[in-house]
Structure formats: C-alpha cells, structure tokens
Amino acid sequence: MDRAAQVTLPLLAVFTDRLRSRLNQQSLASAAETQWPALGGLLHATAHCAPRLEEWSDSEPLAALLPREVPHAESAEPGASAGGAFGAVLLAWSELELEIEQLAHETVTATFGAAARKYIADRRAFRFVTAEATTSLDITPTFCNPLSTLRADLSGVLAALPARSCRRVALAVAASLDELLWGGLLRSAPCSEAGGVQLAHDMRALVGLFAPFASRPHTLLRRVHEACVLLRLPRAARAALLAEVTAAAGAGAGAELQGELEELQIFRLGPAEVKEVLSNLQDD
C-alpha cells in the first residue's frame, strides 16, 4: 500500500503536469496555429484514463490509500465525481477538460469573428442587392472565407475531440455566433427585399455547418434562424406582421400574435425584435 502511494500518485502527478504543459503550449499559440489533434489527444487521454482511476479508487487496497476527505469535482462527467485515492487527480483532469474545451470554443469563435469582420461591417450593402442578383443565390463573396474557416475548424473539432467534448464545444460556438450575428448584423442590416433573401441564404449556409452536431442545427442558432424566416416572408405577410408587432409595442405579444409567431416557428424573438428585423426590410 505504501509503495502504491509512493509510486502511483507521483507518477499520476507527473502525467497531469505534462498534460498541463501541453495545454499551456496550445494556449500560447495563435488561433491559426491551433492543432486540433493535439487538443483532442489531451481530451482522449483523460477520457480514457479517468474511468479506470474511478474504478480503482473504490477497490481494495487503493480505497484506503488516502483519507476520505478528498476533493470532489462538481462536473457530472464520467471520472469527474470520484473521491477515493485518486479524487484529487480526477478533479485536476476534469478542470483540464473544461479549460481545453473553453480554448477550443474561444479559438473557433475568434477565428470566425476575425474572418467575418468585413462581411459584418459591409452590412449596408444588402440594401442595394437587386432581384436579378439573387437569381442564382450564391454566397456573398465576403462571406465565403468566414464560412470556409468555420467549416475547417468545426471539421477539426469533429475529427479530433471526444464526442462529449465535441458537442459541448459546438454548442458554445453556436451560442457565440448566434450572439455575434444577431447583435452585429441581423438586427441592424438595412436590406432590400432581395437583399433580405440573400442575407438569409448566407445565414442558412452557416447554420448548415452545425448539422454534424445536431439533428436540427437551427435550434443551436435560434435567433439567426428566426431572423432568416422573417427575411424570407412574402411582402404581404411581412407587412401584416410588421403592423401587428408595431401595434403590440410595449404591451408584449398577446395570445393571437404569439400564436402567429409560433406558426412561423418564431419562439426566441419577441415582438420588439421581430419589429427590428422587419423594419430594416425595404421593398424593392
């Protein structure tokens, strides 16, 4: 038992320090230099080892190695809630996992934000899109690079990270992009009718990149999706809905208006936000 305490725990401490060192190296790298296989390797290492340590912690004679008052991780992930002989190690690994996933989330979000800066800054260009320009509905040229960058990063995440980490990172990225695109573009971009269709086409291409992570990817970027629904409404339906949400301003959505919004699959945006989107649309 003493030998196990003198050998096993120090070896695990060295292993944990090496994981931390490799994570620090990745943290210091620029977003463009991030190595998804390296981050994935760290997560796969803890995902593989943690369940075994958790099992061994409760077995004799290891259960008696350390006092019962050992740290307990708050995470619900496998390997993160064990006490016993390896409780402190499992807690350290759980914290490492969270840091790695946060780094992945920040890297993908920052890379997309930098690539999409010009696209978002040029949002007034949608005011001048004509019906002829939307017949083929190609992606807006300035949005091609952001989409390509995001596709590459999400593919890297999907290929390298364990499944549970993959989904958590994708959910966090989607939430950040939903906030970025709603706040910086969709609620303020003046659009011609054709420009609204083009903007919706761009956004739907982005939403589609999250299909590997959810059977209904639009639920991950709810405000982006719902803005697309509004941008594609026929002119008459759009005018009628704008009149209703304008009349409801300050009073909130009544049951009838709420029912109409739900029929359109508008659940996240309220009447004031719907009004913002529709007010930016100008008939050609």
CB atoms within 10 A of CB 244: 18
pLDDT recorded at residue 83: 56
Note the pLDDT tens digit of each residue in 225-284: 999 999 999 999 999 999 999 988 766 667 889 899 999 999 999 999 999 999 999 876
CA pseudo-torsion sign 184, 187, 189, 193: positive
Residues whose CB falls within 8 Å of the CB of residue 171, separated by 6 or more in sequence, listed in order: 213, 220
| Listed range (2-11, 179-188, 271-280) with the worst mean pLDDT | 2-11
User: Could you tell me the pTM of the whole model?
Assistant: 0.85
14, exposed or middle or buried, with CB in 10 Å at 0-12, 13-18, 19+?
exposed
Note the pLDDT tens digit of each residue in 42-64: 999 999 988 888 877 766 655 55
- Per the model's pLDDT, the better-predicted residue between 88 and 204 turns out to be 204
Provide the b/e sequence for 52-63 (b: ≥16 CB within 10 Å): ebbebbeeeebe
pLDDT recorded at residue 76: 45
DSSP conformation class of 192: E
pLDDT recorded at residue 70: 46
